[in-house]
Chain A
């Protein structure tokens, strides 16, 4: 009963709850610095679009703000259920009605990625639809590992911020100056470079990265990605998810093999006869068939390649390409509250992505409760620091702060920051 009461009290769809969150918890300062990349408001902030979603699905686009205080004031006034971040425009978005046609053009914007569990529905067996658990999070973890490594080592970016999307996905924001400057063509090219899984529900084979005849070698980037994905596949798809256990599961697998009816027929018969063969057993059965083939023959080579492609199809990151291609795509801000789960969109350390459990992410209700438990006499001006420091959001804000510091060190702001600091001490 008491629990129910608490839940009702801290319902994220309640305006009071969100108001309290925005008033006491949202980390405005690091948030501003992160987008602005400087201590003094720059165009990166003042010309930036913010879009607010209000109760009743009212959507307000083209807001922009002079500074962090201005932003905070409006957030408190509008009390949005969530808000999204767009690009820096050629002019202040809020002036758009007074501008000449075509004068408001997006120019700079973090490079962003969005990975969502929905794209994994056909290959996860533990949950469906909007649900997510630690087990299927493994897919997201595998994706983050490959992308994080690729974006850093291959593409040369440094400032990546991974953020839990509040329910069943993850976002990545890249703040390097080179990333901000990418135009849409360059973003498109990058997405095409990274994208390996393509095709609709109707298409069984979604990995087609070996040229028109499907015989070429993998591009080194994909080849290097296969190394960590191999073990992932064994652990996640074979052991944990049992992707090929059910008839539908192994039929999907057979559909991905090159057209050798003998081999496929033999495997199908074997698996139909002993339905309890595990996914690992079946993968081994396939391995034995492939080993028996001469790798100098065309069919032998095809099967070896097909096996690699299957690993890719089951583990390679499935990114929502549209999100990354255009500078003016709006993406939900970090530290927003997911309206239905109440979970805060917190940063995630990619090095510890395997340990991340979406179930343990603080909800707005928990945070407010933690604040309520603080004796009231400390809740006044004598207290130092921010309210979030007394909640379980603290480590996440600190992680964010560290990321922001690194971004600032690399931009013009760093010099100023250093100066301010040396004057303070």
Chain B
């Protein structure tokens, strides 16, 4: 039974008699170093740790961000090497976990945070079969990345410590099956195959425990058993990890209702799950506050909108231009976005005044709207500096009503309207193209940001999988979308300029 209770102050105790997660309050007793002899971890033993609510949350969010990123990469169906490279880069930056040989790193701390993050997310993700499946899938990719990048000796020590009960193929059977086993050996030249065969070892497991190897016909199968060579061991390890995780999550799910008793953990966990469900991890990207960099003027907005606005902002801007009017949440979404791309307050006032045009008297504008604009720039009221909204906020908060134009077109438009909107806004997109099908498919599966990323790729002449053009980054913020779009343009202009100079082009007439 998972039970979490508050024990005074800032510390939290959570105890579970079946899964036995214990996050308790005595602030001194750190876990012993021997808890993490290996970098790799199956998370078999629930941690008993001192932990503050804040740590509870930050460890989880760090991991959540990585898992969400992995999931979106997963949905973009990248080629395997590109996928693993993208995972590796991201994991290294956001959830580092070093080998024992890495002397400089604070191994103990890294591993502890890694473990806490995993266990907290188990709670958040155990609640529905869908969430469980998605959690397992992303966790497996994470594990695979770490497994393949692990130091070979350390990895073997880890595997020995796990004591898997794989059935080893004995020498007699190995010789009997020589021809068949060799036929499934993918590696090496014909002449080297004999040596490779003699050096290799096989384990037997029921075929359905290694579906990936079966599907790709990479193993010999007989009597229901798959003969897995050590070179394909990763499949066995992942399968074992996945099976254990699945069982553990189901168990947690059964015991989860008790968790609601704690009024502090509940909301944290709810938030984690819903962030993931909207396909995004919270606040990866910090947009500029509008005070740095080259300023944008009211004059420039129209051009920028056409070239660089994310679909949601493009839509808002076009509506505003057409209707000379916009409801509150639309103004807020667009206004904060413009602030984020560098439109200073004075220019914002000019911009909005111009957009409302004659539909509004100067008097009314000055009385009602000027204040709101100044407010959003932190110049009125409690002088808070409101940040531009992230995709997650746009996707999940203030759902637009029928009269509203704010929100995310991918999420809030019907597929038909979405297609029409995209085709009319982005001439490079064809309604019956494969790209459009990709986009609509992602939308159908509720991967809105993946669809948006695809639009970015297509409209910026990037390959599928390039994302925002850096490490296959996925769209997570309209301002980031615009920032990258402008950077790409600047890069290209730079190149073109250089070309022009070199070629010494003379433009006649």
Enumerate chain A interface residues (CB-CB to B < 8 A). 102, 105, 153-157, 178, 182, 185-186, 188-190, 192-193, 209, 217-221, 223
Contacts and interface: CB of A to CB of B under 8 A. Distances in A.
Interface stretch (B21-29, B94-102, B210-218): B210-218
B208 interface: yes
Counting chain B CB atoms within 10 Å of each CB, which of A185, A209, A219 scores highest? A219
B206 A178 contact: yes
Contact of B130 (A102, A192, A221): A102
A189 B224 contact: no
19 contacts: A153-B222, A154-B222, A154-B223, A155-B221, A156-B206, A185-B211, A186-B208, A188-B211, A188-B215, A190-B207, A192-B215, A193-B215, A193-B217, A209-B217, A218-B183, A219-B183, A219-B217, A220-B183, A220-B184
B183 A156 contact: no
A221 B214 CA distance: 11
A217 B224 contact: no
Interface in B365-399: none
A167 to B, nearest CB: 31
B180 A220 contact: yes
B220 interface: yes
A186 B207 CA distance: 9
A189 B183 contact: no
A182 B220 contact: no
A217 B185 CA distance: 10
B221 A221 contact: yes
A189 B211 contact: yes
A219 B214 CA distance: 11
Contacts, number: 59
A102 B221 contact: no
A220 B212 CA distance: 17
A208 B93 CA distance: 41
Counting chain B CB atoms within 10 Å of each CB, which of A193, A209, A220 scores highest? A220
A127 B220 CA distance: 38
5 nearest CB pairs, A to B? A156-B224, A189-B211, A189-B215, A220-B180, A192-B215
Contacts of A155: 207, 221, 224
Nearest to B209: A186
B222 A178 contact: no
B171 interface: no
Contacts of B224: 154-157, 178
Interface string B221-232: 111110000000
Contacts of B129: 102, 105
A209 B221 CA distance: 16
A223 to B, nearest CB: 7
B175 interface: no
A116 to B, nearest CB: 23
A185 B136 CA distance: 14
Interface in B223-244: 223-225
A339 to B, nearest CB: 34
Nearest to B130: A102
B157 interface: no
Nearest to B222: A154
Contact of B223 (A153, A178, A193): A153
Interface in B433-491: none
B128 interface: yes
A219 B184 contact: yes
A192 B207 CA distance: 13
A156 B225 contact: yes
Contacts of B128: 102
Counting chain B CB atoms within 10 Å of each CB, which of A105, A154, A157, A188 scores highest? A154
A186 B211 contact: yes
B183 A193 contact: no
Contact of B208 (A154, A182, A218): A182
Given A186-B208, A188-B215, A190-B208, 8 more contacts: A154-B222, A156-B223, A178-B224, A190-B215, A192-B214, A193-B217, A219-B184, A220-B180
A140 to B, nearest CB: 24
Contacts of B207: 155-156, 190
A190 to B, nearest CB: 6
B221 A154 contact: yes
Nearest to B206: A178
B178 to A, nearest CB: 11
A209 B183 CA distance: 13
Interface string B53-72: 00000000000000000000
Contacts of A209: 217
Interface string B172-190: 0000000110011000000
A178 B208 CA distance: 9
Given A102-B129, A156-B207, A220-B180, A189 B221 contact: no
A105 B220 CA distance: 33
Given A105-B129, A154-B221, A221-B221, A190 B214 contact: yes
Interface in B220-270: 220-225
Contact of A189 (B130, B214, B225): B214
Nearest to A211: B186
A193 B208 contact: no
A220 B225 contact: no
Nearest to B129: A105
Contacts of B216: 192
A186 B212 CA distance: 8
Contacts of B215: 188-190, 192-193
Contacts of A102: 128-130
A153 B223 CA distance: 5
B191 to A, nearest CB: 14
A34 B208 CA distance: 24
Contacts of B217: 193, 209, 219, 221
A221 B220 CA distance: 8
Contacts of A221: 217, 221
Interface string B195-211: 00000000000111001
A156 B128 CA distance: 33
A332 B130 CA distance: 29
A178 B225 CA distance: 12
Contacts of A190: 207-208, 211, 214-215
B445 to A, nearest CB: 15
Nearest to B181: A220
B223 A189 contact: no
B205 to A, nearest CB: 12
Nearest to B220: A220
A221 B219 CA distance: 10
A189 B212 contact: yes
A102 B132 CA distance: 13
A28 B88 CA distance: 58
B125 to A, nearest CB: 15
B406 to A, nearest CB: 27
B81 to A, nearest CB: 14
A220 B218 CA distance: 11
A217 B183 contact: yes
Contacts of A220: 179-180, 183-184, 220
B291 to A, nearest CB: 47
Contacts of A193: 214-215, 217, 221
B330 to A, nearest CB: 31
Nearest to A192: B215
Given A154-B221, A178-B224, A189-B215, A223 B183 contact: yes
A102 B133 CA distance: 13
A281 B184 CA distance: 36
Nearest to A188: B215
A316 B205 CA distance: 27
A304 to B, nearest CB: 16
Contacts of A182: 208
A381 B216 CA distance: 59
A102 B131 CA distance: 12
